[in-house]
Amino acid sequence: MDKKSQIVVTGAAGFIGSCLAEYLNYRGFHNLILVDDFSRADKRENWEHKKFTEKVEREQFFEWLFRQKPKIDFFFHLGARTDTTEFNYAIHQYLNVEYSKKVWQYCSIYNIPLVYASSAATYGSGELGYDDNHDVVSILRPLNPYGISKNEFDKWVLHEIHRPHFWAGLKFFNVYGPNENHKGRMASVIFHAFNQIKKSGIVKLFKSHRPDYKDGQQLRDFIYVKDVIKVCYWMMQHQPQSGIYNLGTGKARSFEDLVKASFKGLDMKTKIEYIDIPEDIRDTYQYFTQAKMDKLRRVGYMDEFYSLEKGIDDYVRNYLNKEKGY
């Protein structure tokens, strides 16, 4: 992809989108069209220092495209409603399904290569495993409206006849890293652990409400945002076989391991207190996630992922403790 290429990034004021915009700048791409709801003051630091040519409000974007008719060379669709505690499905349906369909249709008409954000939330409790084989998509059972909406779009995509010449849906697992400050309750456990340590010297973790998991031993596939944006960039540059791809590390780790690494990043002794999982999310809480990463490796992505310890150490020491964004 030429450095003069014009690239769209939706969700550009959010967590992963803003990190991707910065990484594209770092790689020499400055002709960016940033798309989001830019009204939130707590997201301003995520985007205002980036190099870009256009900043377009999410609700005006398709009208802007029709009016301006820009030549777009690549499209990253990372904008979504990601709140797993938002149970009004209509909100997810509009932002995560209908809006995404419009993005897909635009890219199909103008043959623009597309990478979009799917989610590991599509796998639900994991009873069918975590294999990014297309055959399983139609029978997955997500546990919340967010996961349902992401899976509905994946299902729709796989049945579409009209497609861009290259497309990839990336099923993000548990992403953590700088620029997530605005996410509140939905920010990563590392972000919340850091703030709890700073405030009280103790981290509160959820108890296990299942007999087969001890407190703190719930397992997730945690992936550093720097790895996520590297894969997004690689997809743009190499455009391998189109399809849906898992994006995790392939190694599930415990919340206890995560908290120990957070304390270590602050050179402090580990202190953990266990609390009940809130009732509104207890029945939909995932106890295990682990991405099967064979497909991404088969198409040629060979870079190593950050280990949990190295990723958290970098995040805590170089961003959280310095109150610095990416």
Active-site residues, by number, are 146, 183
CB within 8 Å of 50: residues ≥ 6 apart: 12, 18, 21, 22, 25, 32, 34
Per-residue HEC secondary structure of 85-149 comes to CCCCHHHHHHHHHHHHHHHHHHHHHCCCCEEEEEEHHHHCCCCCCCCCCHHHHHHCCCCCHHHHH
Is residue 69 within 8 A of residue 44, CB to CB? The reply is no
Is residue 45 within 8 A of residue 240, CB to CB? The reply is no
Is residue 76 within 8 A of residue 19, CB to CB? The reply is no
DSSP annotation of 160: -
Cα separation values, 321 from 53, 161, 264, 317, Å: 32, 49, 12, 5
Backbone angles phi, psi at 128, to 5 degrees: -105, 10
Question: Which of 264, 260, 254 is closest to 272 using CA atoms?
Answer: 260
